Amino acid sequence: MMKVKNSCKYFYDSVYDDLLIRLNDSGSVYSDEVYNNIYLIKSEEDDSIVGTQILYFKKRSNKVLKEYLPSFIYSIVRDIETDIYGK
């Protein structure tokens, strides 16, 4: 089930440790792997970033996430992280 936080939708699968974030419901999208199992989801229409998918999320260091994600995506991930970890 997708949850909404700060006007974006996200889904965290605890079984597969997979975090998916969508900033909007744009039509056709594609993804670029920016680091091992970290993807930026982009709009086919204008190549803008519309989300991210992070596999093995809980095993990722903040250093890696901060280095490979754009700052606005990184801040969203940090905000959602509190929901996932229950802090």
This prediction has a pTM of 0.90
pLDDT at 1: 58
Residue 2's pLDDT band, with cuts at 50, 70 and 90, is: low
The phi, psi pair for 80, rounded to 5°, reads -70, -30
Q: How many residues does the chain have?
A: 87
- Average confidence (pLDDT) over 1-12: 79
Asked whether residue 75 carries a pLDDT value surpassing 80, the answer given is yes
Q: How many CB atoms lie within 10 A of CB 82?
A: 10
The tens digit of pLDDT for each residue in 35-65 reads: 999 999 999 999 999 999 999 999 999 999 9
Give the position of tokens 């440790």. 17
